[in-house]
Structure 1
Amino acid sequence: MIKNVTLPTEDGTTQIDHIIVSKYGIFVVETKNMKGWIFGSERQKMWTQKIFKYNTKFQNPLHQNYKHVKTLQNMLNIEPEKIFSVIVFVGDCKFKTAMPANVNYPRGYINFIKSKNKILLSKAEIKEAIRIIEFGRFERSYKTHREHVRHVKQIVEEKQDAVTCPKCGNVMILRTAKKGPNAGTQFWGCSTFPKCRGTLKYSATES
């Protein structure tokens, strides 16, 4: 297991909690140490943590880990079927919605990895993958951590500026009504329309 790997990306850096390289494939593990109730689905941009009456939004870890997987896949030049995304929730938390695929508590995460029993990588490929990761990662240092934190804060700020759908949590798009009594009026419509028909009023003061 390779821990705390910071890799370069086109727009900055990405930090991977754990990478497991085995003959059964490469597992990219994102861990979340959280408390309270967790609400979220596979397609929602933001998930919700609820502790008593307080709600906190956080990025969908499946989307977060997708970037990790793609970065590593491109670095290793490996087929997508040989690399797996795994999300692990530790701490005193409980899902109040159905847990999406690849999202587990610690015991479930171990079972998920054990369920992969088809040999995908040779000993030479395992050795080469580890070599490339170790060579390509940034040195573990305060400077690396600081730069990554700055990059993450920038991403979070950009996401906070986005309007999210009250029904499904996805990003909303500014649209203009084409017919009916509100023709010509702008409103926020869900980006997944027609699957989700969530809308919000738009105020000209937002622009």
Structure 2
Amino acid sequence: MYNPIWQNFGHIQSLKTYLEIEELEMQSIIAFSSDATLKFKEPFETAHVIKVNKLKNVIKKYVDIVLSEAELKDINVSLEQLSFTDKKQKRRVKTAHLKSVKSKQSGQKPDRPNQPKVDFKLNKSVSEKIESVVELNPSIRTVSQVGSLGYCPRCTRELVERKGKFGEFVGCSAFPKCRYTLKKEA
């Protein structure tokens, strides 16, 4: 299962880009079924991760009106253009999307510094995306923050410095897909 906070972040960014409303503040809410076991102790800063029975209470916290009825209607019209009635077309789009996501997750060679870096749908540079990941997980320090650590010998992604329960170590930035680690020399 992919990290739902990161997935939702990507969906929100795509939605803002599609609707051309970058400045609109959107709330990330991830609701799991009532049968799910949530193992985190402290609340997340960038998203609401809750069980579905708490969804109504979380939504009620946001009472400020930020969009007019006309703006909501325009958004609905724009989003309706994305819906497919043809099942074959819907299946083709879904297959292409999954293929795109899987190709990003596979061990492709990382971009070298002299090559342009472009994200596949969000029109954000790779460095901005990495900053958003670091914001979600402050225990990750990127290569630019600690100097060049090189590339993973297994999947060729960049190596990053991490902190674990046994101390600091160097690991693959593609974790959990790639679990390469190297003990940090003291």
Q: Which TM-score tier does this pair reach, normalised by the shorter chain?
A: 0.5 to 0.7
Q: Do the aligned residues in 1 keep the contact of 2:30 with 2:48 (CA within 8 Å)?
A: yes
Alignment of 1:125 onto 2:71: yes
User: How far apart are the structure 1 equivalents of 2:142 and 2:99?
Assistant: 21
* Secondary structure of residue in 2 paired with 1:83: coil
User: How far apart are the structure 2 equivalents of 1:130 and 1:151?
Assistant: 22
Mapping 1:139-150, distance limit 5 Å: 139-140=84-85, 141-150=87-96
Structure 1 portions without partners, runs of 5+: 1-57, 163-167, 177-187, 202-207
Structure holding more helix per residue: 2
Task: Give the TM-score taking structure 2 as reference length.
Answer: 0.54
Task: Give the TM-score taking structure 1 as reference length.
Answer: 0.49
| Partner residue in 2 for 1:61 | 4
Picking from 36, 42, 51, the partner of 1:93 is 36
1:121 shift after superposition? 1.1
| Partner residue in 1 for 2:105 | 159
Mapping 1:7-156, distance limit 5 Å: 58-90=1-33, 92-98=35-41, 100=44, 101-135=47-81, 137-140=82-85, 141-156=87-102
| Number of residue-to-residue matches in the alignment | 126
Picking from 160, 169, 173, the partner of 1:198 is 169
Picking from 128, 149, 155, the partner of 1:175 is 149
Q: Do the aligned residues in 2 keep the contact of 1:73 with 1:79 (CA within 8 Å)?
A: yes
| Partner residue in 2 for 1:27 | none
What amino acid does structure 1 have at the position aligned with 2:19? L
Identity %: 24
Q: CA RMSD in A?
A: 3.4
Q: Do the aligned residues in 2 keep the contact of 1:103 with 1:109 (CA within 8 Å)?
A: no
1:160 shift after superposition? 4.7
Structure 2 portions without partners, runs of 5+: 109-136, 151-157, 171-180
Is the alpha carbon distance of 1:157 and 1:134 closer, same or farther for their aligned partners in structure 2, counting shifts above 3 Å? Answer: same
Structure with greater contact order relative to length (CA < 8 Å, sep ≥ 6): 1
Farther-moved stretch of structure 1 (117-126 vs 75-84): 75-84
